[in-house]
Amino acid sequence: MKIVYCIPAMANSGGMERVLSCKANYLVSLGYEVHIITSDQMGRSVFFPLDPRIQLHDLGINHEVTNGSLWQKILQFPLKRWRHEKALRALLFKLRADVVISMFGLESSFLPRIEDGSRKILEYHFSKLKRLQYNRKGFWRKLDLWYTKQDEQIVLLYDDFVVLTEEDRQLWGDLPNIHVIPNPLPFESDEVSICEAKRIIAAGRYNYQKNFEELIEIWAQIAPQHPDWRLDIYGDGEERTNLQRQIDQGTVPNICLQRPTKDMPQVYLQSSLYVMTSHYEGLPMVLLEAQTMGLPIVAYACQCGPRDIITHGEDGYIIEPHDKDSFCQALLRLMKDEELRKRMGVKAKVASKRYTLESVMEQWIKLLTK
Protein backbone atom coordinates (compact mmCIF):
# COMPACT_ATOMS: atom_id res chain seq x y z
CA MET A 1 0.00 0.00 0.00
CA LYS A 2 1.26 3.47 -0.90
CA ILE A 3 0.48 6.17 1.69
CA VAL A 4 1.06 9.90 1.34
CA TYR A 5 1.03 12.37 4.25
CA CYS A 6 0.61 16.13 3.73
CA ILE A 7 2.00 18.49 6.37
CA PRO A 8 3.36 22.06 6.21
CA ALA A 9 6.89 21.09 7.31
CA MET A 10 8.90 18.45 9.14
CA ALA A 11 11.48 20.92 10.47
CA ASN A 12 9.55 21.86 13.61
CA SER A 13 9.92 20.17 17.01
CA GLY A 14 6.17 20.01 17.69
CA GLY A 15 3.97 17.10 18.68
CA MET A 16 2.35 16.72 15.26
CA GLU A 17 5.74 16.35 13.55
CA ARG A 18 6.91 13.88 16.18
CA VAL A 19 3.77 11.76 15.83
CA LEU A 20 3.99 11.69 12.05
CA SER A 21 7.63 10.57 12.18
CA CYS A 22 6.68 7.70 14.53
CA LYS A 23 3.74 6.55 12.40
CA ALA A 24 5.62 6.82 9.10
CA ASN A 25 8.63 4.93 10.48
CA TYR A 26 6.34 2.19 11.80
CA LEU A 27 4.43 1.80 8.53
CA VAL A 28 7.52 1.69 6.35
CA SER A 29 9.01 -0.97 8.63
CA LEU A 30 5.99 -3.15 7.79
CA GLY A 31 6.54 -2.76 4.06
CA TYR A 32 4.22 0.16 3.31
CA GLU A 33 5.50 2.73 0.81
CA VAL A 34 5.36 6.09 2.59
CA HIS A 35 5.74 9.60 1.16
CA ILE A 36 5.61 12.90 3.04
CA ILE A 37 4.70 16.05 1.10
CA THR A 38 5.52 19.43 2.66
CA SER A 39 4.71 22.92 1.46
CA ASP A 40 6.96 25.02 3.71
CA GLN A 41 10.10 22.99 4.48
CA MET A 42 12.26 25.85 3.10
CA GLY A 43 15.42 23.76 2.92
CA ARG A 44 15.48 23.06 6.65
CA SER A 45 16.52 19.71 8.07
CA VAL A 46 13.94 17.24 9.33
CA PHE A 47 13.83 17.56 13.14
CA PHE A 48 12.78 14.03 14.11
CA PRO A 49 14.59 11.07 12.53
CA LEU A 50 12.91 9.41 9.56
CA ASP A 51 13.58 6.00 8.05
CA PRO A 52 15.59 6.54 4.82
CA ARG A 53 12.95 4.53 2.93
CA ILE A 54 10.43 7.34 3.53
CA GLN A 55 10.36 9.63 0.49
CA LEU A 56 10.17 13.39 1.10
CA HIS A 57 8.78 15.95 -1.35
CA ASP A 58 8.64 19.72 -0.76
CA LEU A 59 6.39 21.82 -2.97
CA GLY A 60 8.25 25.05 -2.14
CA ILE A 61 5.11 27.14 -1.62
CA ASN A 62 6.37 28.78 1.59
CA HIS A 63 3.09 30.26 2.78
CA GLU A 64 4.83 31.81 5.78
CA VAL A 65 7.22 33.85 3.60
CA THR A 66 5.39 36.97 2.43
CA ASN A 67 6.39 40.55 1.75
CA GLY A 68 4.83 43.90 2.56
CA SER A 69 1.97 44.92 4.81
CA LEU A 70 -0.77 42.73 6.24
CA TRP A 71 -3.09 43.58 3.36
CA GLN A 72 -0.37 42.78 0.81
CA LYS A 73 0.12 39.41 2.50
CA ILE A 74 -3.61 38.78 2.32
CA LEU A 75 -3.59 39.62 -1.39
CA GLN A 76 -0.68 37.21 -1.97
CA PHE A 77 -2.50 34.32 -0.29
CA PRO A 78 -4.86 33.32 -3.17
CA LEU A 79 -1.93 33.05 -5.60
CA LYS A 80 0.04 30.86 -3.22
CA ARG A 81 -3.00 28.72 -2.55
CA TRP A 82 -3.51 28.26 -6.30
CA ARG A 83 0.16 27.31 -6.73
CA HIS A 84 -0.15 24.91 -3.79
CA GLU A 85 -3.14 23.09 -5.29
CA LYS A 86 -1.58 22.93 -8.74
CA ALA A 87 1.72 21.51 -7.46
CA LEU A 88 0.03 19.02 -5.12
CA ARG A 89 -2.32 17.84 -7.86
CA ALA A 90 0.58 17.19 -10.24
CA LEU A 91 2.57 15.27 -7.63
CA LEU A 92 -0.39 13.14 -6.48
CA PHE A 93 -1.22 12.16 -10.07
CA LYS A 94 2.42 11.13 -10.43
CA LEU A 95 2.54 9.13 -7.17
CA ARG A 96 -0.90 7.47 -7.53
CA ALA A 97 -1.18 6.69 -3.82
CA ASP A 98 -3.76 4.38 -2.28
CA VAL A 99 -4.37 6.73 0.65
CA VAL A 100 -3.58 10.44 1.07
CA ILE A 101 -3.71 11.83 4.61
CA SER A 102 -3.92 15.54 5.39
CA MET A 103 -2.76 16.79 8.78
CA PHE A 104 -5.27 19.66 8.36
CA GLY A 105 -2.84 22.02 6.68
CA LEU A 106 -3.88 24.52 4.03
CA GLU A 107 -4.34 21.68 1.54
CA SER A 108 -7.24 20.29 3.60
CA SER A 109 -9.77 22.54 1.83
CA PHE A 110 -8.88 21.43 -1.71
CA LEU A 111 -7.38 17.94 -1.32
CA PRO A 112 -10.72 16.08 -1.67
CA ARG A 113 -11.29 17.48 -5.17
CA ILE A 114 -7.96 16.10 -6.46
CA GLU A 115 -9.25 12.97 -8.19
CA ASP A 116 -6.06 10.91 -8.27
CA GLY A 117 -7.86 7.70 -7.27
CA SER A 118 -6.75 7.73 -3.64
CA ARG A 119 -8.85 7.56 -0.49
CA LYS A 120 -8.65 10.80 1.47
CA ILE A 121 -8.25 10.90 5.24
CA LEU A 122 -8.18 14.02 7.40
CA GLU A 123 -6.41 14.09 10.78
CA TYR A 124 -7.19 16.80 13.32
CA HIS A 125 -4.59 17.31 16.03
CA PHE A 126 -6.41 20.02 17.96
CA SER A 127 -9.81 20.59 19.49
CA LYS A 128 -12.69 21.56 17.23
CA LEU A 129 -12.92 24.80 19.22
CA LYS A 130 -9.26 25.67 18.65
CA ARG A 131 -9.95 28.84 16.66
CA LEU A 132 -12.53 30.12 19.16
CA GLN A 133 -10.09 29.58 22.02
CA TYR A 134 -7.91 32.35 20.62
CA ASN A 135 -10.40 34.63 22.43
CA ARG A 136 -10.04 37.34 19.80
CA LYS A 137 -12.52 40.21 19.60
CA GLY A 138 -14.52 42.09 16.98
CA PHE A 139 -13.74 41.31 13.33
CA TRP A 140 -11.21 38.62 14.27
CA ARG A 141 -13.77 36.80 16.43
CA LYS A 142 -16.20 36.76 13.51
CA LEU A 143 -13.41 35.42 11.30
CA ASP A 144 -12.65 32.63 13.79
CA LEU A 145 -16.35 31.71 13.87
CA TRP A 146 -16.45 31.64 10.07
CA TYR A 147 -13.37 29.39 9.88
CA THR A 148 -14.89 27.04 12.47
CA LYS A 149 -18.01 26.72 10.30
CA GLN A 150 -15.78 26.08 7.27
CA ASP A 151 -13.99 23.31 9.17
CA GLU A 152 -17.35 21.63 9.76
CA GLN A 153 -17.95 21.55 6.02
CA ILE A 154 -14.41 20.47 5.10
CA VAL A 155 -14.40 17.36 7.30
CA LEU A 156 -17.50 16.02 5.52
CA LEU A 157 -15.64 15.96 2.19
CA TYR A 158 -13.24 13.23 3.36
CA ASP A 159 -13.68 9.47 3.27
CA ASP A 160 -12.57 9.33 6.89
CA PHE A 161 -12.01 11.96 9.57
CA VAL A 162 -9.80 11.12 12.58
CA VAL A 163 -9.82 12.96 15.89
CA LEU A 164 -7.68 12.21 18.92
CA THR A 165 -10.10 12.08 21.86
CA GLU A 166 -13.64 11.09 22.74
CA GLU A 167 -14.06 14.59 24.15
CA ASP A 168 -13.37 16.12 20.75
CA ARG A 169 -15.55 13.58 18.96
CA GLN A 170 -18.52 14.77 20.99
CA LEU A 171 -17.81 18.37 19.95
CA TRP A 172 -17.99 17.43 16.25
CA GLY A 173 -21.27 15.61 16.67
CA ASP A 174 -22.58 12.46 15.02
CA LEU A 175 -20.58 12.55 11.78
CA PRO A 176 -20.77 9.47 9.52
CA ASN A 177 -17.02 9.42 8.78
CA ILE A 178 -15.52 10.24 12.21
CA HIS A 179 -13.12 7.95 14.11
CA VAL A 180 -11.17 8.33 17.35
CA ILE A 181 -7.54 7.20 17.18
CA PRO A 182 -5.20 8.70 19.78
CA ASN A 183 -1.62 9.62 19.10
CA PRO A 184 0.91 6.93 19.98
CA LEU A 185 3.74 7.37 22.42
CA PRO A 186 6.69 8.66 20.38
CA PHE A 187 8.99 6.51 22.49
CA GLU A 188 8.83 3.90 25.23
CA SER A 189 11.28 3.40 28.04
CA ASP A 190 12.08 0.78 30.66
CA GLU A 191 13.57 3.57 32.73
CA VAL A 192 11.39 5.91 34.77
CA SER A 193 12.11 8.96 36.86
CA ILE A 194 12.65 8.31 40.57
CA CYS A 195 10.90 11.65 41.19
CA GLU A 196 13.59 12.90 43.57
CA ALA A 197 15.13 15.70 41.49
CA LYS A 198 13.90 19.13 42.48
CA ARG A 199 13.09 20.08 38.92
CA ILE A 200 9.77 20.72 37.16
CA ILE A 201 9.50 20.79 33.38
CA ALA A 202 7.18 21.92 30.62
CA ALA A 203 7.63 21.73 26.86
CA GLY A 204 6.03 23.09 23.71
CA ARG A 205 6.09 25.87 21.17
CA TYR A 206 6.36 29.37 22.63
CA ASN A 207 3.02 30.67 21.36
CA TYR A 208 -0.49 31.63 22.47
CA GLN A 209 -1.71 28.03 22.58
CA LYS A 210 0.76 26.87 25.24
CA ASN A 211 0.05 29.84 27.55
CA PHE A 212 3.50 29.74 29.15
CA GLU A 213 3.08 33.31 30.40
CA GLU A 214 0.52 32.00 32.89
CA LEU A 215 2.89 29.22 33.95
CA ILE A 216 5.54 31.84 34.63
CA GLU A 217 3.04 33.77 36.77
CA ILE A 218 2.30 30.61 38.75
CA TRP A 219 5.98 29.87 39.21
CA ALA A 220 6.59 33.44 40.39
CA GLN A 221 4.29 32.69 43.35
CA ILE A 222 5.94 29.36 44.16
CA ALA A 223 9.66 29.94 43.54
CA PRO A 224 10.38 32.23 46.52
CA GLN A 225 8.99 29.56 48.88
CA HIS A 226 11.15 26.81 47.37
CA PRO A 227 14.50 28.22 46.23
CA ASP A 228 15.91 24.69 45.91
CA TRP A 229 13.47 23.87 43.07
CA ARG A 230 13.68 25.02 39.44
CA LEU A 231 11.41 25.15 36.38
CA ASP A 232 12.70 24.48 32.85
CA ILE A 233 10.49 25.17 29.83
CA TYR A 234 11.73 23.45 26.64
CA GLY A 235 10.75 24.92 23.30
CA ASP A 236 11.05 27.79 20.87
CA GLY A 237 8.79 30.10 18.93
CA GLU A 238 7.53 33.60 18.33
CA GLU A 239 6.88 34.38 22.01
CA ARG A 240 10.40 33.59 23.26
CA THR A 241 11.40 37.25 23.56
CA ASN A 242 8.20 38.20 25.40
CA LEU A 243 8.48 35.26 27.78
CA GLN A 244 12.10 36.07 28.57
CA ARG A 245 11.15 39.71 29.16
CA GLN A 246 8.40 38.57 31.55
CA ILE A 247 10.94 36.51 33.49
CA ASP A 248 13.53 39.30 33.59
CA GLN A 249 11.15 42.12 34.50
CA GLY A 250 9.49 40.04 37.20
CA THR A 251 12.87 38.83 38.45
CA VAL A 252 11.39 35.32 38.58
CA PRO A 253 14.07 33.04 40.07
CA ASN A 254 15.11 29.51 39.09
CA ILE A 255 13.42 29.37 35.72
CA CYS A 256 14.98 28.89 32.30
CA LEU A 257 13.70 28.85 28.72
CA GLN A 258 15.56 25.85 27.30
CA ARG A 259 16.07 25.17 23.59
CA PRO A 260 14.32 22.13 22.05
CA THR A 261 16.19 18.86 22.40
CA LYS A 262 15.94 15.51 20.64
CA ASP A 263 16.80 13.74 23.89
CA MET A 264 13.64 14.44 25.86
CA PRO A 265 13.71 11.04 27.63
CA GLN A 266 16.78 12.18 29.56
CA VAL A 267 15.06 15.45 30.42
CA TYR A 268 12.11 13.55 31.89
CA LEU A 269 14.39 11.20 33.81
CA GLN A 270 16.12 14.15 35.44
CA SER A 271 12.84 15.74 36.53
CA SER A 272 10.09 15.01 39.05
CA LEU A 273 6.98 16.81 37.78
CA TYR A 274 5.41 17.87 34.49
CA VAL A 275 3.17 20.94 34.18
CA MET A 276 0.90 22.23 31.40
CA THR A 277 -1.13 25.45 31.22
CA SER A 278 -2.31 25.33 27.57
CA HIS A 279 -5.34 27.24 26.31
CA TYR A 280 -6.22 24.29 24.05
CA GLU A 281 -4.75 21.01 22.81
CA GLY A 282 -5.63 18.01 20.68
CA LEU A 283 -3.99 15.15 22.53
CA PRO A 284 -0.86 16.63 24.14
CA MET A 285 2.07 14.38 23.35
CA VAL A 286 4.11 15.85 26.17
CA LEU A 287 1.61 14.46 28.69
CA LEU A 288 1.90 10.97 27.19
CA GLU A 289 5.69 11.24 27.24
CA ALA A 290 5.72 12.43 30.83
CA GLN A 291 3.51 9.52 31.84
CA THR A 292 5.62 6.86 30.17
CA MET A 293 8.67 8.29 32.00
CA GLY A 294 6.82 8.02 35.32
CA LEU A 295 6.14 11.70 36.02
CA PRO A 296 3.03 12.96 37.81
CA ILE A 297 1.32 15.82 35.98
CA VAL A 298 -0.43 19.04 36.93
CA ALA A 299 -2.39 20.41 33.97
CA TYR A 300 -5.21 22.76 33.09
CA ALA A 301 -8.35 20.93 31.93
CA CYS A 302 -8.25 22.56 28.50
CA GLN A 303 -10.04 21.11 25.50
CA CYS A 304 -8.99 18.53 24.56
CA GLY A 305 -6.73 15.84 25.99
CA PRO A 306 -5.96 16.22 29.69
CA ARG A 307 -9.27 14.68 30.78
CA ASP A 308 -8.62 11.66 28.54
CA ILE A 309 -5.06 11.19 29.81
CA ILE A 310 -4.97 12.11 33.52
CA THR A 311 -6.98 10.52 36.30
CA HIS A 312 -7.35 13.31 38.84
CA GLY A 313 -5.81 12.43 42.19
CA GLU A 314 -4.33 9.17 40.85
CA ASP A 315 -1.53 10.04 38.44
CA GLY A 316 -1.78 13.83 38.58
CA TYR A 317 -4.12 16.77 39.04
CA ILE A 318 -6.49 18.40 36.54
CA ILE A 319 -7.13 22.08 37.31
CA GLU A 320 -9.84 24.28 35.83
CA PRO A 321 -8.31 26.67 33.26
CA HIS A 322 -6.88 29.90 34.69
CA ASP A 323 -7.37 28.81 38.32
CA LYS A 324 -3.83 29.75 39.22
CA ASP A 325 -4.37 29.41 42.96
CA SER A 326 -5.53 25.79 42.68
CA PHE A 327 -2.68 25.07 40.28
CA CYS A 328 -0.21 26.44 42.84
CA GLN A 329 -1.75 24.35 45.62
CA ALA A 330 -1.56 21.12 43.59
CA LEU A 331 2.00 21.82 42.56
CA LEU A 332 3.10 22.66 46.09
CA ARG A 333 1.47 19.49 47.40
CA LEU A 334 3.57 17.39 45.06
CA MET A 335 6.75 19.40 45.61
CA LYS A 336 6.50 18.92 49.37
CA ASP A 337 5.57 15.21 49.36
CA GLU A 338 8.16 12.97 47.70
CA GLU A 339 6.26 9.77 48.49
CA LEU A 340 3.12 11.17 46.85
CA ARG A 341 5.14 12.04 43.73
CA LYS A 342 6.53 8.53 43.56
CA ARG A 343 3.13 6.86 44.00
CA MET A 344 1.59 9.02 41.29
CA GLY A 345 4.60 8.41 39.04
CA VAL A 346 4.08 4.64 39.25
CA LYS A 347 0.41 5.04 38.31
CA ALA A 348 1.35 7.38 35.46
CA LYS A 349 3.59 4.70 33.96
CA VAL A 350 0.75 2.16 34.09
CA ALA A 351 -1.68 4.63 32.47
CA SER A 352 0.72 5.23 29.57
CA LYS A 353 0.31 1.62 28.35
CA ARG A 354 -2.92 2.69 26.62
CA TYR A 355 -0.90 4.64 24.07
CA THR A 356 1.85 2.25 22.97
CA LEU A 357 2.81 2.51 19.31
CA GLU A 358 1.66 -1.04 18.56
CA SER A 359 -1.82 -0.60 20.03
CA VAL A 360 -2.42 2.75 18.28
CA MET A 361 -1.00 1.64 14.92
CA GLU A 362 -3.20 -1.44 15.01
CA GLN A 363 -6.16 0.95 14.86
CA TRP A 364 -4.59 2.91 11.99
CA ILE A 365 -3.83 -0.20 9.96
CA LYS A 366 -7.42 -1.38 10.42
CA LEU A 367 -8.65 1.97 9.03
CA LEU A 368 -6.14 1.99 6.14
CA THR A 369 -7.00 -1.53 5.01
CA LYS A 370 -10.78 -1.47 5.45
Which pLDDT value is given to residue 368? Answer: 96
Q: What is the rounded distance in angstroms from the CA atom of residue 240 to the CA atom of residue 227?
A: 24
| Inter-residue contact 299 to 318 (CB < 8 Å) | yes
C-alpha closest to that of 319 among 338, 333, 332, 306: 306
Judge residue 315's burial from the number of C-beta atoms within 10 Å of its C-beta, 0-12 exposed, 13-18 middle, 19 or more buried.
buried
What pLDDT score does 282 carry?
Answer: 86
pLDDT at position 67, please?
62
What element of type H or E holds 57? strand 55-58
Q: Which long-range contacts (CB under 8 A, 24 or more apart) does 65-72 make?
A: 65/40
Distance CA 355, CA 3 (A): 22
CATH topology of domain 199-354: Rossmann fold (3.40.50)
Matching fold, domains 2-184+356-369 and 199-354: yes
Q: What count of other Cβ atoms lies within 10 Å of the Cβ of residue 344?
A: 25
Q: For the stretch 158-183, what's the b/e string if a residue is b when 16 or more beta carbons lie within 10 angstroms of its beta carbon?
A: bebbbbbbebbbeebeeeeebbebbb
Angle 27-30-34 from CA coordinates, rounded to 5°: 40
CA distance 51 to 45: 14
Q: Flag residues of the chain having pLDDT under 50.
A: none
Say what the alpha-carbon torsion angle 163, 168, 173, 175 is, to the nearest 10 degrees: 0
DSSP per residue, 258-296: EPP-S-HHHHHHT-SEEEE--SB-SS-HHHHHHHHTT--
Kindly list the domain boundaries of the chain, sorted by start residue.
2-184+356-369, 199-354
pLDDT of residue 66: 64
Nearest-angstrom CA–CA distance, 123 and 126: 9
Q: Is the previous residue joined to 328 through a cis bond, with omega within 30 degrees of 0?
A: no
Residue-wise pLDDT tens digits, 158-208 = 999 999 999 999 999 999 999 999 999 888 889 999 999 999 999 999 999
Could you tell me if residue 126 is left (phi over 0), alpha (psi between -120 and 50 degrees) or otherwise beta?
Answer: beta
For residue 340, the tally of other CB atoms under 10 A from its CB is 14
CATH number of 2-184+356-369: 3.40.50.2000
Strand order, beta sheet including 2-7: 55-58, 33-38, 2-7, 99-102, 119-123, 160-163, 178-180
Measured CA to CA, the distance from residue 271 to residue 257 in angstroms comes to 15
* d(C-alpha 255, C-alpha 238), whole Å: 19
Decide: 260 and 281 in contact? Cβ < 8 Å.
no
* pLDDT of amino acid 68: 63
The reported pLDDT for the residue numbered 370 is: 87
At residue 189's C-alpha, the angle toward residues 188 and 190, to 5°, is 140
Contact 284, 306 (CB under 8 A): yes
**313 phi and psi angles, rounded to 5 deg:** 85, -10
Q: What is the pLDDT of residue 277?
A: 98
Provide the whole-model pTM: 0.81
Report pLDDT digits (tens) over 286-295. 999 999 999 9
Of 253, 335, 361, nearest to 24 (Cα)? 361
State the Cα–Cα distance between residues 346 and 369, nearest whole angstrom.
Answer: 37
